[in-house]
Amino acid sequence: MKFFKATSIVGMIICVGVLGDTLLSPDQIIEKAKKGRTEFVEAIGEVQRSAPSLASKEEFFPYIKILDQLKEIGDSNGANELGEDLVQALGYILTRNGIKWLRIDLDPVDFIQVYFRWSENSTRYQVAGLHIKLLVLVADKENLLHWFERVSLALDMIQELKSEAYVVEAFEQLQASCLQRLMKIRNELQPEQILGLLRQTKSLLSIQSVISFLNEEGLRTSNPDDLETYLRWTAILGENLQAINQVVPFYVLSAPGQLIITIVTKFLTLNRPFDFNIIPSILKTLLPSQVPSLGSTVMALYREKVIPDQIVDLLVELSTQLYEEYLKLNIGNEAQEMRKFVSQVTLLQAGIANQIEGSYEVTIRDKPGLINFVHLGNGKFFMGISVRYGGEVSADFSLFYVTFNSKNQSWEAAHYDPSDPTTSNPVNEVFFSTFKLTTGSDGNLIEGTLFTAKLTSPYRGKQTGHYLDFKSDPSEKIEKVGGVYTGEARGYRFRLVIYQVEQRLQGVILVTSPTNMPINVDLEYGFYDTRRNVAYLTSGRFESLRWVHVRGEFFETGKKFKGQYIQSVYGPIHDLLLQRNLGESNENYTIR
């Protein structure tokens, strides 16, 4: 109604005014409007009557450009005291008639700002609709990039003018259409160009369209370079989405975080690391409820399988930063579990870096001794210390909880978990050890102290042996290794029963001495590295609280097993070459 009132007032003035046959130039219109209130109204009426009939944008657009000046003149001479905004009414008419000529991609930015400022919502909406049709005709990369930049600027203008929601949505759709076209030719763009596009993508529809695209691509591809790129893109979009000043549906708000969890999980499943520098931005993208979801996923992936060396550094960084997020969010029980996982992967990282696994000849209180470290396969280590007197073992200690303090680069080992008192046994003597490892010209050197209830015993020595180590991937892939394996070594007979569920193993090894004395050991902790056909099988506490570890590699489709039998007190005491008994089943043994 306001527009029609303004139009009628101007129309009445036109009727009584002196009208010429030729429209004055924009400069002449300004000069006339400055002369007085009556001339101002006549000038407005003349433009309103004649400008829409002009035949080209070059003739027509200059009259839109002078609207700001006319507004200033009307304010100064009191013309607006008539009760209607005559310039605004004129602006509505001119911009509506100029829709067919306006080009967001071609016209100067400052003119587009003036045009939108003097247009009404319906006009702006029609401009967006026209440009969606024009976009179909744009083919080459450079033009698409230019269109996206200009449309993004136009969207900013529309939002700053507080346009109606349907108008904003129309320009968001226009931006999304540009972005979709560019995503289809992303291989022709430089990485920095795409990052620049995404940083400008701050509309809900555009973000949704790219997230939808990334969801499809992220599920389809297993290429690490593509996945890392999608992580970076998603982090940018997630940050932009959280900054949107409007109500965002939860399923949209949570989409970037869910995509990040999917891609990170795929990286870890593929045993491939990604750039650590991305971690802060991807964690920032997660909603509070998604942080423990990612943490639980990471821990679950490696709870029952081997942690590959190449991914350890990533797990340390990722789990450490996840743990910090847990603390910020005050997540109790989950934080405790994540702390243990951080300790586990940090220990493995240090163990790999220091090549800790193996045997060390040491001197303990002036007596010869032996220390053994064994990796269980999933980041945990067992330690064994023995003291010899007269060539025989006079005392031995098995430690089942080894930790690494990254701050002071020191190690601790105990026969129970210090963070969980329920793992200790009050009937047995409490003992633990602290030590440090250094690398010298002779290799790894160890120096530490063994603490028992009665004595404090310092020790030092050097590494003298490594256990079987498997660095290269075999050409033969053996997925199933469950079964019964038998063989002999130095007069001892071995019967190894293995039960397999995916990458988790359990087993029993029966060792019969030359004098027919059998020892039966449950191998409770087992992992199978399918990349290298290597099994890690370790006992819990057995016979006098010692531990046994069996490690080896499978050959000939799983018919042969070559490895070592390692004991906490003695280290590797048997080299194993076992054959699979194809006629014997392990069905009577079940994994626990």
Does 138 fall in a domain? Answer: yes
Is the pLDDT at 471 greater than 70? The verdict is no
Does 265 fall in a domain? Answer: no
Confidence label for 371 from pLDDT (cuts 50, 70 and 90): very high
Instruction: Please classify residue 81 by burial: count the beta carbons closer than 10 Å to its beta carbon, then call 0-12 exposed, 13-18 middle and 19+ buried.
Output: exposed
Residues 502 and 541 in one domain: yes
CATH number, domain at 564? 2.40.128.120
Q: At which residue do the structure tokens 């030590």 appear?
A: 435
CB–CB of 538/553 below 8 Å?
A: no
**How many domains does the chain fold into?**
3
Q: What is the mean pLDDT of the chain?
A: 86
What distance in Å separates the CA atoms of residue 172 and residue 155, rounded to the nearest whole number?
7
Is the pLDDT at 14 greater than 50? The verdict is no
Is the pLDDT at 8 greater than 80? The verdict is no
CB–CB of 414/401 below 8 Å?
A: yes
The pair of structure tokens assigned to 91 is 């602006």
Residues 385 and 501 in one domain: no
Residues 459 and 487 in one domain: no
Sequential DSSP letters for 108-170:
-HHHHHHHHHTS-HHHHHHHHHHHHHHHTT--SHHHHHHHHHHHHHHHHHHHHTT--HHHHHH
Of the three residues 412, 430, 465, the one that is the final residue of a domain is 465
CA nearest 505: which of 533, 469, 477? 533
Bridge partners, residue 574, by sequence: 565
Within 10 angstroms of residue 337's Cβ, the number of other Cβ atoms is 17
**Who wins on pLDDT, 120 or 388?**
120
Does 307 fall in a domain? Answer: no
Pairing of the two strands 381-389 and 392-399: antiparallel
Mean pLDDT, residues 388-404 taken together: 85
Is the pLDDT at 396 greater than 50? The verdict is yes
C-alpha separations of 582 from 486, 500, 502 in Å:
11, 16, 20
DSSP three-state, residue 78? coil
pLDDT tens-digit series, residues 378-394: 888 899 999 988 778 88
Residues 42 and 130 in one domain: yes
pLDDT tens-digit series, residues 240-282: 888 887 788 888 889 999 999 999 999 999 889 999 999 999 9
Within 10 angstroms of residue 454's Cβ, the number of other Cβ atoms is 8
Which residues in 392-452 belong to E strands, given as ranges?
A: 392-399, 401-405, 410-414, 432-440, 443-451
Residues 426 and 489 in one domain: no
What distance in Å separates the CA atoms of residue 341 and residue 316, rounded to the nearest whole number?
9
CA nearest 544: which of 335, 395, 328? 395
CATH number, domain at 406? 2.40.128
pLDDT for the residue numbered 1: 41
C-alpha separations of 151 from 105, 396, 433, 568 in Å:
7, 76, 67, 70
Q: At which residue do the structure tokens 């004991």 appear?
A: 567
Q: Is the pTM of this model over 0.85?
A: no
| 218-222, 454-458, 496-500: the lowest-pLDDT one | 218-222
For the chain, helix (H) and strand (E) counts, in that order, are 19, 17
Q: What angle do CA 253, 259, 262 make, to 5 degrees?
A: 145
What distance in Å separates the CA atoms of residue 338 and residue 319, rounded to the nearest whole number?
7
Is the pLDDT at 7 greater than 80? The verdict is no
Residues 418 and 537 in one domain: no
Residues 104 and 51 in one domain: yes
Domain coverage including residue 394: 359-465
Is the pLDDT at 549 greater than 50? The verdict is yes
Of the three residues 204, 230, 249, the one that is the final residue of a domain is 249
List Cβ neighbours of 223 (8 Å cut-off, separation of 6 or more).
Answer: none
CB–CB of 169/159 below 8 Å?
A: no
Residues 461 and 490 in one domain: no
Of the three residues 231, 249, 267, the one that is the final residue of a domain is 249
What are the start-end ranges of the H helices in 161-245? 165-184, 191-200, 204-220, 224-242
Confidence label for 12 from pLDDT (cuts 50, 70 and 90): very low
Residues 152 and 18 in one domain: yes
The number of CA neighbours under 13 Å toward the Cβ of 16 is 8
The pair of structure tokens assigned to 101 is 């000529």
Type and span of the H or E element at 327:
helix 312-328
Confidence label for 20 from pLDDT (cuts 50, 70 and 90): very low
CA nearest 50: which of 100, 3, 90? 90
Mean pLDDT, residues 556-561 taken together: 92
Residues 13 and 89 in one domain: yes
The number of CA neighbours under 13 Å toward the Cβ of 542 is 18
Does 331 fall in a domain? Answer: no
